[in-house]
Amino acid sequence: MERLMENLLLFTFILYLCAFIAFAIAISGKKIKDQKKKERRWGNIAIGVTIAGVACHLAFTITRILVTGHFPTSNMFEFTTFLCFAIVLAFIVIFFIYRSVVLGAFAMPLALIILAYAAVFPREVQPLIPALQSYWLVIHVGLTALASGMFAVGFVAGLIYLINQVGNQKQGRNGFFLEIILLATLMFVGFIFTNLISSSMGYEAQIAHIVDGEQQVQSYEIPPLVGPADGQVQKMTPFLGLDKPLMEAPAWMKGHESAKLLNSTLWGILVGLLLYGLIRLIARKRISSLLHPLIKDWNPELIDEISYRSTAIAFPIFTLGALIFAMIWAHEAWGRFWGWDPKEVWALITWLFYSAYLHLRLSRGWHGIRSAWLVVGGFLVIMFNQIFINLVVSGLHSYA
Amino acid sequence: MIENTKCECGHNNPIGTILCEYCGKPLDEGQQEKKSIEKEMRYDGVARRSQKKEQNFLDRVWSFFSSVKVAIILIVITLLASGIGTIFEQERLTGSSDPESYYIEKYGVWGEWYYKLGFSDMYNSWWFATLLAMIGVSLVICSLDRVVPLYRALKNQTVPKSTHFILRQRISHQETLKAEDKEEKWKKLIGALKKKRYEVRQEGNSILAEKGRISRWGPYINHIGLIIFLVGVLLRFIVPGWYLEQALYIREGETLRLPDTPYYLKNEKFTVEMYEGEFSNVPKNYQTDAILYEKDKNGQLVPVHRHAIRVNHPLEYNELFLVQADYQMETTGLKLKVIEKQTKKNLGTFSVDFQKISANQVYKVGDLEIRALEYYPDFVLQNGRPATQSQEPNLPAFVFEVKAKGANEGEKSWVISGQDTSSLTPQNKYEIDLEGIETALSSGLLIRVDQSLPIIFAGGFICLIGLVMGFYWHHRRIWIKYEDGKIYLGSHTNKSWYSLRREIDQIAEQSGLRLKLTQE
């Protein structure tokens, strides 16, 4: 059963990858006479493969439920995997409203990145602690993930809009920040790659240090460029002749995992920069101008509307899942419906951010570039809450 | 602004009206020259209180809070402030009695300023409450300022509109049409509109097709929901007895009064269960089997409710709410051993239960009688005399009298936890030493009364209904008019213009209009 579960997930990944390739073929090529025909044909193939992928992902989710006995949203691996599912599902919904092939060419890679990110976390099946033993686990977390998936599609559309509008601008703030966003995405990919490659090669290092007067050992799965302050190397596989960390984390980073996180972040930045440098070296232009020709012929008004529409669809779902149901569960499990826990606060911030967006767009007429930047910003807030708040800030929601 | 409020069509409009309520024609000259009246269409060009020209103080306050711009600024400030509150943990979570030095010690100069600027307990601060209150006021005023006039305008819509009005819509179209073809085209148009589920009204040579008006009420309903929510939160602070939060630790077998309530609770059994096998360090269940009592007229405890309180399965009785929140190991007593000094022989042990100990209580060990003379739960020396600081057994100390059976006089013996007392009574025959600690689990419960919850959750769900109405429906209107050999078409929506264009393209295709608004 567990074998089947692993295979289903692998198969899901492959299907999403194929769907991405098919979408990419559908939008590539010059605007020749039968481009429309080709686009339609490959678009149909691509959405078919996407649906097959989502079905496979669903099968994985069901097997995981059978294996673990609970809905798989109880730790970082399970949640992130489900988030990927939500993104693809949201994309399919939007695809059937607007029939936008170009959206798939960007939404599928995002789904792939998220799925790869899930693989960074431990995959073991763990039993539920008492606080999570509730049907609200599927309702609250599931709905929040579905809403986040829809917001993610809005983000993808916003990004496409920006590339469409300012991708070929060599000057100006819009072009610059767009490139920064793309670079940050590359760094995130770099972070995932180093983690997956290094841990699959079985790299290991252990460094002891003192936290709150007690000695603790940090196990690194990727070569420690940064070790904890005043750390003692206990064991370290040499990496490029390196047998101790290059430097130490600043002393104020006292949390027992923070040096490790700093190290993985640094690796992500380095590998991201390396990838970016390679792309610039080969293509001799910015990534945004590299992508621009692919989408310059698409109707920007349509893409702008997709980014708004996805966000507008997601907003009530988010309100229900991440706030209302969250409050009901918090009331049952913790005895108060709201406690200013960091995760709660950031859910509120996400909600306030998107409500500001909706007011600006619907009431103040912010369309186009400003609106696109806002949905990009909104998704960054969501990812910040998902990654940073979960992993760095401790609170009641630190389950993984 | 507009002085002349009487329209050419003869309709008298209230002061402040931008578009004639009857025919839709822009009322002032400046407006008539504009190519588009899209901005004015947002509330159908009706007069709003906030746009009165002469304003007294109240009007100015009203205008201020009726501005969406102000509302957005308030939202953004709240958003940023909330974020700042998560940089370091809030005071409540530090568990420190001296938060200032806690922050300084842990976060240095940043922590010091965090504390000094009041961010360390900001969610309870007056300024954060003020921010929320201002958002509440803004919600009320923004909604009232718009919903009343908008309701009037949408309710009293007339079908024939002036061509000025139609042509100045964001989507507009005109084409020539021979009079003899008009009937045929009309039929096709109405058919196509109905197929798209429009509600079609006809008057003479004019058509008004409308759908999804429900969408326009969405924002007001969701704002009403938010107002109800905020009122519910406010009530917790002003209605006495509506809100209670207390923590209680209760040991197995113990019956305690629930503070600030008329209830008593007995903990029959407390269970901590772990998973088996490789996950033996993962908790599976925390459970307090509890009986809730009330006092009857004679002061007797009467059981009123039984419940196994588990995490996620709280006890609910009337307004009372008991949540399994925590547990702790408590020292309930000491196990002491008696040693004959000369032979170092252990003569046996006896147990002292802090709860049950009473003056002159006698414990028996073999042939010895041990009488408790004095007990200090929280021992301290005050001016050289033994005393106790509290009734909590933090540092228990005893004076025992040890007496052989039948003997007239015994010897006094001191026991102070954590100290060697043998030097106090060097001539004693027996010595009493600590053998072990007796502990029991104490269940940590949260006692909660929150009478606002129904209001708060009702507010939340009303807000949700409003959001769904507002975002899952679209208000679309199409005006069509035939005048002087020409057919005019104008259309308006409050959002998703591309979808409207696509829909009009389809309608145009079905009815044979030469109109194409979207390109693939």
Which residues 206-265 of chain A have a CB within 8 Å of chain B?
Answer: 252
Q: What is the CA radius of gyration of chain B?
A: 40
What is the pLDDT confidence band of residue A30, given thresholds at 50, 70 and 90? Answer: low
Q: Is B302 helix (H, G, I), strand (E, B) or coil?
A: strand
* Closest by Cβ to A319, choosing from B39, B78, B463: B463
Using the Cβ of B82 and the Cβ atoms of chain A, whether some distance falls under 8 Å is answered with yes
E-only strand ranges, B299-396: 301-310, 315-317, 320-340, 345-353, 362-365, 368-376, 379-382, 385-388
How far CA A112 is from CA of A15, A335, B260, B322, in Å, comes to 10, 39, 55, 45
Q: Which residues in A lie closer than 8 A to residue B245 (C-beta atoms)?
A: 335-336
* Closest by Cβ to A324, choosing from B72, B448, B464: B464
Which of A255, A285, A315 is a domain's end point? A285
Same domain for A184 and A126? no
Cross-chain residue pair A348–B463, CB shorter than 8 Å: no
B435 secondary structure, DSSP code: E
Task: Summarize pLDDT for A141-180 with one digit per residue, the tens.
Answer: 999 999 999 999 999 999 999 999 998 888 888 989 999 9
Q: Is A240 helix (H, G, I), strand (E, B) or coil?
A: coil
B175 to chain A nearest CA, in Å? 25
Which of A256, A285, A314 is a domain's end point? A285
* Inside any domain, residue A172: no
* Inside any domain, residue A263: yes
Look up the domain containing A363 and give its range: 2-167+286-391
User: Computed from CA positions of residues A12, A17, A22, A26, in that sequence, does the dihedral angle turn out positive or negative?
Assistant: positive
pLDDT surpassing 70 at residue A393: no
Give the model's pLDDT for residue A395: 60
Using the Cβ of A320 and the Cβ atoms of chain B, whether some distance falls under 8 Å is answered with yes
Cross-chain residue pair B86–A342, CB shorter than 8 Å: yes
pLDDT surpassing 50 at residue B2: no
Q: What is the CA radius of gyration of chain A?
A: 22
Using the Cβ of B261 and the Cβ atoms of chain A, whether some distance falls under 8 Å is answered with no
Q: Is B14 helix (H, G, I), strand (E, B) or coil?
A: coil
Higher per-residue pLDDT: A376 or A364:
A376
Give the model's pLDDT for residue A146: 96
B399 has which bridge partners? B374, B414
Using the Cβ of B76 and the Cβ atoms of chain A, whether some distance falls under 8 Å is answered with yes
Cross-chain residue pair A340–B467, CB shorter than 8 Å: no
A338 to chain B nearest CA, in Å? 11
B334-350 mean pLDDT: 85
- Burial class from Cβ neighbours inside 10 Å (0-12, 13-18, 19+) for residue A303 reads buried
Query: Quick one: tokens of B56?
Result: 């007294």
Question: B485-508: string of b/e by CB count within 10 Å (b at 16+)?
Answer: eebbbbbbbbbbbbbbbbbbbebb
* Inside any domain, residue A398: no
* Closest by Cβ to B325, choosing from A335, A353, A364: A335
Query: Quick one: tokens of B12?
Result: 């008298």
pLDDT surpassing 50 at residue B423: yes
Same domain for A124 and A219? no
CA distance B141 to B60: 12
Task: Summarize pLDDT for B179-210 with one digit per residue, the tens.
Answer: 888 889 999 999 999 999 999 999 989 999 99
Same domain for A266 and A355? no
Q: Which residues in B lie closer than 8 A to residue A389 (C-beta atoms)?
A: 86
What is the pLDDT confidence band of residue B309, given thresholds at 50, 70 and 90? Answer: very high
Q: Which residues in B lie closer than 8 A to residue A315 (C-beta atoms)?
A: 467, 471
Size of the A and B interface in Cβ pairs below 8 Å = 132
How far CA B402 is from CA of A260, B357, B434, in Å, comes to 61, 16, 16
Which residues 117-156 of chain A have a CB within 8 Å of chain B?
Answer: 126-127, 129-131, 133-134, 136
What is the pLDDT confidence band of residue B401, given thresholds at 50, 70 and 90? Answer: confident
* Inside any domain, residue A203: yes
pLDDT surpassing 90 at residue A312: yes
Residue of A nearest to B449 (CA): A335
What is the pLDDT confidence band of residue B388, given thresholds at 50, 70 and 90? Answer: confident
Q: Which residues in B lie closer than 8 A to residue A313 (C-beta atoms)?
A: 471-472
* Inside any domain, residue A189: yes
Using the Cβ of B272 and the Cβ atoms of chain A, whether some distance falls under 8 Å is answered with no
Average pLDDT, chain B: 87
pLDDT surpassing 60 at residue A399: no
Q: Are the C-beta atoms of B457 and B226 separated by less than 8 Å?
A: no
How far CA A186 is from CA of A261, A287, A322, A363, B282, in Å, comes to 18, 10, 29, 35, 37
- Which residue type does B407 have? A
Portion of chain B with pLDDT greater than 70, in percent: 97
* Inside any domain, residue A399: no
Same domain for A185 and A317? no
Same domain for A191 and A271? yes
Using the Cβ of A392 and the Cβ atoms of chain B, whether some distance falls under 8 Å is answered with no
E-only strand ranges, chain A: 205-211, 214-220, 226-227, 232-236, 247-248
E-only strand ranges, B377-429: 379-382, 385-388, 397-404, 411-416
Q: Which residues in B lie closer than 8 A to residue A129 (C-beta atoms)?
A: 282-283
Same domain for A226 and A102? no
Residue of B nearest to A301 (CA): B498
Query: Quick one: tokens of B257?
Result: 């009064």
Q: Which residues in A lie closer than 8 A to residue B448 (C-beta atoms)?
A: 335-336
Which residues 287-326 of chain B have a CB within 8 Å of chain A?
Answer: 310-314, 321, 323-325
Residue of A nearest to B42 (CA): A363
Q: Which residues in B lie closer than 8 A to residue A333 (C-beta atoms)?
A: 311-312, 323
| Neighbouring C-alpha atoms within 13 Å toward the C-beta of B336 | 29
Q: Which residues in A lie closer than 8 A to residue B143 (C-beta atoms)?
A: none
CA distance A266 to A225: 8
Cross-chain residue pair A301–B498, CB shorter than 8 Å: yes
For B439, the enclosing helix (H) or strand (E) is strand B430-450
Q: Are the C-beta atoms of A399 and A75 separated by less than 8 Å?
A: yes
B292 has which bridge partners? B265, B305
Query: Quick one: tokens of A125?
Result: 């099946």
Give the model's pLDDT for residue B354: 83
Cross-chain residue pair A130–B123, CB shorter than 8 Å: no
A279 to chain B nearest CA, in Å? 32
Task: Summarize pLDDT for A321-341 with one digit per residue, the tens.
Answer: 999 999 999 999 988 899 888
* Inside any domain, residue A70: yes
Give the model's pLDDT for residue A31: 58
Give the model's pLDDT for residue B429: 83
pLDDT surpassing 60 at residue A400: no
CA distance B257 to B264: 4
Q: Are the C-beta atoms of B186 and B496 separated by less than 8 Å?
A: no
pLDDT surpassing 50 at residue B416: yes
Same domain for A10 and A129? yes
Mutation target vs A (from B216, B258, B471, B474; most A CBs, 10 A cutoff): B471
pLDDT surpassing 50 at residue B1: no
Same domain for A182 and A317? no
Using the Cβ of A2 and the Cβ atoms of chain B, whether some distance falls under 8 Å is answered with no
Q: In what order do the strands lie in the sheet with B362-365?
A: B362-365, B368-376, B397-404, B411-416
Which residues 51-110 of chain A have a CB within 8 Å of chain B?
Answer: none
Portion of chain A with pLDDT greater than 90, in percent: 55
Using the Cβ of B506 and the Cβ atoms of chain A, whether some distance falls under 8 Å is answered with no
Q: Which residues in A lie closer than 8 A to residue B39 (C-beta atoms)?
A: 365
Torsion, Cα B153 B156 B157 B161, to 10 degrees, reads -100
Task: Summarize pLDDT for B77-135 with one digit per residue, the tens.
Answer: 999 999 998 888 888 777 777 888 888 887 888 888 888 888 888 888 899 999 999 99
Q: Which residues in A lie closer than 8 A to residue B325 (C-beta atoms)?
A: 334-335
Same domain for A156 and A34? yes
Using the Cβ of B498 and the Cβ atoms of chain A, whether some distance falls under 8 Å is answered with yes
Using the Cβ of A35 and the Cβ atoms of chain B, whether some distance falls under 8 Å is answered with no
Centre a 10 Å sphere on the Cβ of residue B157 and count the other Cβ atoms it contains.
Answer: 17
Task: Summarize pLDDT for B237-275 with one digit per residue, the tens.
Answer: 888 888 888 889 998 888 999 988 889 999 999 999 999
Give the model's pLDDT for residue A224: 85
Give the model's pLDDT for residue A32: 61
- Per the structure, how many domains does chain A have? 2
CA distance B175 to B164: 15
B477 has which bridge partners? B210, B492
Average pLDDT, chain A: 89
Task: Summarize pLDDT for B9-67 with one digit per residue, the tens.
Answer: 878 888 778 888 888 888 776 666 667 777 778 778 777 877 777 678 888 888 899 88
A312-322 mean pLDDT: 96
Q: Is A37 helix (H, G, I), strand (E, B) or coil?
A: helix
> ipTM beyond 0.95?
no
CA distance B505 to B244: 61
Same domain for A310 and A162? yes
Task: Summarize pLDDT for B453-473 with one digit per residue, the tens.
Answer: 999 999 999 999 999 999 999
Q: Are the C-beta atoms of A16 and A88 separated by less than 8 Å?
A: yes
CA distance A137 to B505: 45
Centre a 10 Å sphere on the Cβ of residue B293 and count the other Cβ atoms it contains.
Answer: 19
Q: Which residues in A lie closer than 8 A to residue B472 (C-beta atoms)?
A: 313, 316
How far CA B267 is from CA of B239, B259, B292, in Å, comes to 31, 15, 9
Task: Summarize pLDDT for A378-392 with one digit per residue, the tens.
Answer: 999 999 988 877 776
Give the model's pLDDT for residue A303: 94
Same domain for A275 and A361? no
Q: Which residues in B lie closer than 8 A to residue A305 (C-beta atoms)?
A: 496-499
CA distance A344 to A397: 9
Q: Which residues in A lie closer than 8 A to residue B86 (C-beta atoms)?
A: 342, 345-346, 389, 393
Q: What is the pTM of this model?
A: 0.89
Which of A232, A266, A285 is a domain's end point? A285
* Inside any domain, residue A88: yes
A279-287 mean pLDDT: 91
Mutation target vs B (from A102, A134, A315, A324; most B CBs, 10 A cutoff): A324
Task: Summarize pLDDT for A221-245 with one digit per residue, the tens.
Answer: 888 888 887 778 877 777 777 777 8
* Closest by Cβ to B75, choosing from A301, A328, A356: A356
Task: Summarize pLDDT for B476-486 with one digit per residue, the tens.
Answer: 999 999 988 89
Same domain for A146 and A225? no
Residue of B nearest to A335 (CA): B323
DSSP per position, A340-367: --HHHHHHHHHHHHHHHHHHHHHHH---
Q: Is B342 helix (H, G, I), strand (E, B) or coil?
A: coil
Q: Which residues in A lie closer than 8 A to residue B107 (C-beta atoms)?
A: 252
Portion of chain B with pLDDT greater than 90, in percent: 38
* Closest by Cβ to B314, choosing from A315, A335, A348: A335
